[in-house]
Amino acid sequence: MRNKIIAALLLAALPVGAALAQSPQDQFKAAYEKAEATNKKAGELRNQWTVTANALKAAKAAADAGDFDKALKLAEQAEALAKASIVQTEREKTAWKDAVIR
């Protein structure tokens, strides 16, 4: 029982430890690159969202201003938006047919 609790605590602490190993700057950089790559993929699918580019720009501006917490949040937001645009594209490959006038 006691061992189990300790194990659980250790497990819970793990991700925190991993995050601590990365500086906020690195965290931002990783998130930003991921977001950019995802948005690039959306571009290849010819369906980027303007808000994604806006979020990326805002993230970069926050990072340049040294606010990495904010920058990280915005980069993550940009990635979520880029992902959503890809999901939309995939869905609309067939979903459009339901909207056709008939």
Partner 1 sequence: MFRKILISVACCAIFANGALAAETINPEQDFKEFRQFFQSKFPQVKLEDFVNGPYSVDEGLRKQWIEKEEFPPYDFALEKGKELMAKPFANGKTIADCFPNKGIGIRQDYPYFDAKEGQVITLELAVNRCLEQNGEKPFSYTGDDMASVTAYMAFTSRGKPFDIKIPNDPRALAAYEHGKQYFYQRRGQLNFSCASCHVQSPGELIRSERLAPALGILNAMPIYRSEWGGMGTISRRFTSCNSQVRGVPLKPQDAEYRDVEYYLSYMANGLPIVGPGSRP
Interface with partner 1 includes 53 (CB under 8 A)?
yes
| Nearest CB to partner 1, comparing residues 65 and 95 | 95
| Nearest CB to partner 1, comparing residues 53 and 67 | 53
Contact at 8 Å (CB) between 56 and 36? Answer: yes
First to last CA, the chain: 65
Interface with partner 1 includes 55 (CB under 8 A)?
no
Q: How far is the CB of 4 from partner 1 (least distance, A)?
A: 46
DSSP 59-99: HHHHHHTT-HHHHHHHHHHHHHHHHHHHHHHHHHHHHGGGG
- The residues binding partner 1 (CB under 8 A) are 43, 46-51, 53, 81, 84-85, 88-89, 92, 95-97, 99-102
